[in-house]
Amino acid sequence: MIGQLTLPFRLLVACIYLFLLAPILIVLPLSFSNDSYITFPPESWGLRWYAAMFSHAGFAQALWISLIIAVTVTILGLAAGVPAAFAIRRRQFIGREFLLNLFTAPLLLPSIVLGLAILLVFVQARLLGTYTGLIIAHLIITTPYVIRIMLTAFSTLPPSVEDAATMLGASPFTVVRRITLPLMMPGFIASAALSFLLSFDEVVISLFITGPRLRTLPVEIFDYVESQTDPMTAAVSVVLVGATLLIIFLIERTLGLSKTIGK
């Protein structure tokens, strides 16, 4: 009976993977097209649009802006999310569940609704089209993920190990440095990687916040697609997907995804 269920289940999993990977399977060959417009399959092949992508001034500037914002958001998100997760998981105080629900509420809202709400607030605060506005908007999105991942990391960190180190004479700083930090490092790295990728790839909320002089790479790609029909966006997409897979691969090789995300 189990053997009879195995084959249909595997076919179902294969169909799901094919459905999820279908856009990549189309974009990848399009990125190697030498045609002046999008056709599938391409009539001629080459690296024309990869060369054009690296020489495009708008993409280069938007990439630099996206990197600056993503790195800043990652650092600030970790600085805010890790202590918040530690306090919620390890401390007993009134309103703990309320704070957890408040911090993770953005995860429940559609991006378009959250973006519109941020726009209405930022108009009054004059934060539209500024680095500060973009960073705050991205922090609203990424910090809940940091808190969720770190809550899992702290839940798998046994307090008895820290208590034992304290009873053996270790100072609080030594306990944090030698015990807590090494044990929470997989979750910390996962939070950092996810925050960076979420901030770098965010387009819906960024569309509400960016201005003509401050445009992230996803917004630049979005506007380019609206006005152009060449395969350059396919080349950019392949490079971004490859960079994302490289980050995931490095995490898997160094820590392991199951260990990093938490069991």
Report residues of the chain scoring pLDDT below 50: 1-3, 260-263
> What residue ranges do the domains of the chain occupy?
46-261
Cβ(137)–Cβ(206) below 8 Å: yes
Hey, which CATH number is domain 46-261, 2.60.40.10, 1.10.3720.10, 3.10.290.10, 1.20.120.80? 1.10.3720.10
pLDDT computed for residue 254 by the predictor: 66
**How does DSSP classify residue 154?**
H
Phi-psi region of 104 (alpha: psi -120 to 50; beta: other; left: phi over 0): alpha
pLDDT of residue 1: 45
* pLDDT at residue 172, as a whole number: 67
pLDDT confidence of residue 2: 46
Q: Does pTM surpass 0.95?
A: no
* The pLDDT value given to residue 247: 77
pLDDT in tens, 152-173: 877 777 666 666 766 766 666 7
The distance from CA 132 to its chain's CA centroid, rounded to whole angstroms, is 19
How far is Cα 84 from Cα 143, in angstroms, rounded to an integer?
Answer: 10
Model pLDDT for residues 204-225, shown as the tens digit of each residue:
888 888 877 788 888 888 888 7
Q: What is the per-residue pLDDT for 76?
A: 92
Q: Give how far the C-alpha of residue 45 lies from the chain's centroid of Cα atoms, to the nearest Å.
A: 32
pLDDT of residue 163: 65
Backbone angles phi, psi at 13, to 5 degrees: -60, -40
